Amino acid sequence: MYRLLSVLALVAAFTATEAQDPPSPYDCVADSTLVSPQSCQNFKIPHLVSDQINNEMKAAYLYQAMASYFARDDVAWPGLSKFFYVMAAEERTHAQSLMDFMALRGGRVELKPVELPLDAIFTTPTPWGPVESMKRALEEERNMNGDLLTLHLAANDDPHFQNFLEEDLLNEQVNAIRTLSFYVTQTERLKDDNHALTEWDAKLSGDPHHA
Ligand SMILES: [Fe+2]
C-alpha cells in the first residue's frame, strides 16, 4: 500500500511539472510594482519610460522658466515668451502620451521630482535674448533626441513600443531640431539689428514647429 501511494505521488508530481508552461520570452519583468501581471505582455522597460516622462517634464519646466523670463517687463520679448509657452505645453503633451502608453501596456508610472536645469539664464548678468534662447532650446532638443534614440535601442525586442516612439515622439523631435536650427541661423543673422530682431520676435507664431 505504501509503495502504491509513493508511486501515485510521483506520477502526480511529474504530471504537474509537465503541465507548467515554460517561461515565455514575452513575459514582463517580475517586479509587480512596475507592471500589471494581468495585462502586461512583452513590456520590459517601464522604469526607462518613467525616466523619459521625467525628462519631458524637465524640458517643460525649462521652457516654462524661459517663457516667464521673456514675459518680464524689463526683458520684454513677447514673441519668445509665447513661443516657449507653446514649447512647454508640447513637452507636457509628450509626458502625457508616455503615461497613456504605460496605461495601455500595463506599466506603472513612477513620477519623480522634476529638477529645474541650473541654467545660465537665471544667473548671467548679461540679459538673454533671441540668439541665446534659441541655442539653448536647440541643445535641449538635441539632448532629448539622444534620450529617445537610447530608449528606442533599449526596446529592440518591443516593436509596438518602438513604433509608438517613432510615430509619436521621434518624428516631432526631428522637426523641432530642424526648426530651432533655422531660428538659430535667423537670429544670428539679425542679432546686430535691433529693429529687425524686434520684428522677428513679433512674427513668432504660436506653433514652434512651422517656421
Ligand atoms: Fe519632448
Lowest mean per-residue pLDDT among 2-16, 80-94, 197-211: 2-16
> Is residue 168 domain-resident?
yes
> Is residue 192 domain-resident?
yes
pLDDT at 26: 82
- Backbone dihedral region for residue 109 (phi beyond 0: left; psi -120 to 50: alpha; all else: beta): beta
Alpha carbon of 73 to ligand 1 centroid (Å):
29
Alpha carbon of 38 to ligand 1 centroid (Å):
30
Alpha carbon of 127 to ligand 1 centroid (Å):
26
Q: What are the phi and psi torsion angles at 35 (to 5°)?
A: -140, 160
Q: pLDDT tens for residues 112-144?
A: 999 877 666 666 667 788 999 999 999 999 999
- In the DSSP assignment, the letter for residue 115 is P
Residue 194 reports pLDDT greater than 50:
yes
Alpha carbon of 82 to ligand 1 centroid (Å):
17
All three cell numbers of 139: 541643445
Domain count, the chain: 1
Alpha carbon of 144 to ligand 1 centroid (Å):
7
Integer Cα distance of 112 and 73 in angstroms? 33
Confidence band (pLDDT; 50, 70, 90) for 38? confident
Give residue 77's domain range: 26-203
> Is residue 66 domain-resident?
yes
Q: pLDDT tens for residues 150-190?
A: 999 999 999 999 999 999 999 999 999 999 999 999 999 99
DSSP 3-state of 63 = helix
Alpha carbon of 141 to ligand 1 centroid (Å):
8
All three cell numbers of 85: 509657452
Q: Mind giving me the DSSP string for 21-38?
A: PPPPTT---S-TTTB-TT
Alpha carbon of 100 to ligand 1 centroid (Å):
15
**What is the average pLDDT value for the chain, to the nearest integer?**
87
Q: Are the C-beta atoms of 204 and 79 separated by less than 8 Å? A: yes
pLDDT at 210: 45
Lowest mean per-residue pLDDT among 8-12, 53-57, 127-131, 179-183: 8-12
Residue 45 reports pLDDT greater than 80:
yes
> Is residue 160 domain-resident?
yes
Number of H helices, E strands in the chain: 7, 0
> Is residue 58 domain-resident?
yes
Q: Mind giving me the DSSP string for 176-187?
A: HHHHHHHHHHHH
Please give the share of the chain, as a percent, with pLDDT higher than 70: 80
Q: Which residues pair with 35 in a beta bridge?
A: 107
Alpha carbon of 32 to ligand 1 centroid (Å):
28
Alpha carbon of 91 to ligand 1 centroid (Å):
4
- Backbone dihedral region for residue 47 (phi beyond 0: left; psi -120 to 50: alpha; all else: beta): alpha
Q: Are the C-beta atoms of 65 and 122 separated by less than 8 Å? A: yes
Angle at 73 between CA 116 and CA 207, to 5 degrees: 65
> Is residue 60 domain-resident?
yes
Alpha carbon of 93 to ligand 1 centroid (Å):
8
Alpha carbon of 169 to ligand 1 centroid (Å):
7
pLDDT at 40: 87
> Is residue 208 domain-resident?
no
> Is residue 166 domain-resident?
yes
What does pTM read for this prediction?
0.84
Alpha carbon of 1 to ligand 1 centroid (Å):
72
Q: What are the phi and psi torsion angles at 75 (to 5°)?
A: -115, -55
Polymer length in residues for the chain: 211
Q: Are the C-beta atoms of 151 and 48 separated by less than 8 Å? A: yes
Instruction: Give the domain CATH number at 162.
Output: 1.20.1260.10
Alpha carbon of 90 to ligand 1 centroid (Å):
7
pLDDT at 30: 65
